[in-house]
């Protein structure tokens, strides 16, 4: 991260970033990110609690003119809209998988449109996976497994466009990282902010991967 020129990070998406209402007066992700950044850098929150993937397209229209980096965390609310499939009757595993395949296609179509718009902004950008629910929850194993259907769409869209990925499933691994089943706590927000800062600073010693999405 070159602190001499500064930079302007814009956070887009949903309540993963817009989590002020869930941290009991503590700092939200945007403030925690600002605290991580060197002098001369700033962060703007355009993410909106409750927004769907399609909402990011609207948020992109409000980008500050001096934006330099874009970070998106979206899709959790869209996936939540398919939660009823977990209790849908099915005569076979194949029929159940088909229901999720249909949901995946709808999710993928929305995510691909958003990822295309994100890439078109012409700025360095990253997207976040949908993280797991707290492991103490009664349906943890089922939800974690079902979310892989949607996270596959996230990674495919990102890797095919050369977008970076912040894997929140690996970043937020402790139940204390969650304010509830959906939003990050102060503890989780600090981890997310730290991961964003690490993405922008190659000098930080964190696990990194290289993915080849095509030729």
**Residues contacting residue 170 through CB under 8 Å, at least 6 positions apart:** none
Q: Extract the residue ranges of the chain whose pLDDT is less than 70.
A: 1-4, 215
Residue 3: per-residue pLDDT: 43
Residue 7: per-residue pLDDT: 95
pTM for the structure as a whole: 0.93
Residue 105: per-residue pLDDT: 97
pLDDT digit string, tens, across residues 109-126:
999 999 999 999 999 999
Burial of 61 (0-12, 13-18, 19+ CB in 10 A): exposed
pLDDT digit string, tens, across residues 132-144:
999 998 889 999 9
| Cα-based distances in Å from 62 to 12, 70, 144, 177, 194 | 10, 12, 33, 30, 25
| Residues facing 41 on adjacent strands | 7
| Cα-based distances in Å from 115 to 43, 136, 181 | 21, 33, 26
Residue 2: per-residue pLDDT: 43
Residue 201: per-residue pLDDT: 86
**Residues contacting residue 136 through CB under 8 Å, at least 6 positions apart:** 175
Question: What are the helix (H) ranges across the chain?
Answer: 29-36, 53-60, 76-80, 93-120, 140-161, 168-171, 186-200
Residue 6: per-residue pLDDT: 85
Residue 37: HSE in the Cβ half-sphere, 13 Å Cα cutoff = 24
């Amino acid at each position: 991260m070159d602190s001499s020129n500064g930079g302007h990070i814009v956070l887009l998406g949903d309540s993963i970033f817009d989590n002020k209402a869930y941290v009991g007066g503590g700092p939200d992700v945007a403030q925690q990110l600002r605290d991580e950044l060197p002098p001369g850098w700033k962060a703007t929150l355009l993410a909106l609690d409750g927004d769907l993937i399609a909402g990011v397209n609207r948020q992109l229209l409000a980008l500050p003119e001096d934006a330099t980096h874009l970070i998106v965390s979206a899709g959790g609310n869209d996936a939540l809209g398919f939660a009823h499939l977990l209790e849908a009757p099915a005569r076979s595993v194949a029929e159940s998988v088909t229901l999720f395949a249909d949901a995946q296609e709808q999710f993928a179509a929305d995510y691909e449109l958003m990822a295309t718009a994100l890439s078109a902004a012409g700025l360095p950008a990253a997207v976040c996976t949908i993280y797991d629910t707290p492991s103490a929850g009664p349906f943890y194993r089922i939800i974690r497994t079902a979310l892989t259907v949607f996270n596959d769409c996230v990674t495919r869209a990102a890797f095919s466009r050369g977008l970076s990925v912040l894997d929140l499933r690996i970043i937020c691994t402790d139940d204390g990282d969650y304010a509830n089943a959906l939003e990050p706590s102060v503890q989780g927000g600090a981890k997310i902010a730290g991961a964003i800062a690490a993405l922008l600073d190659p000098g930080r010693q964190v696990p990194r991967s290289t993915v080849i999405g095509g030729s």
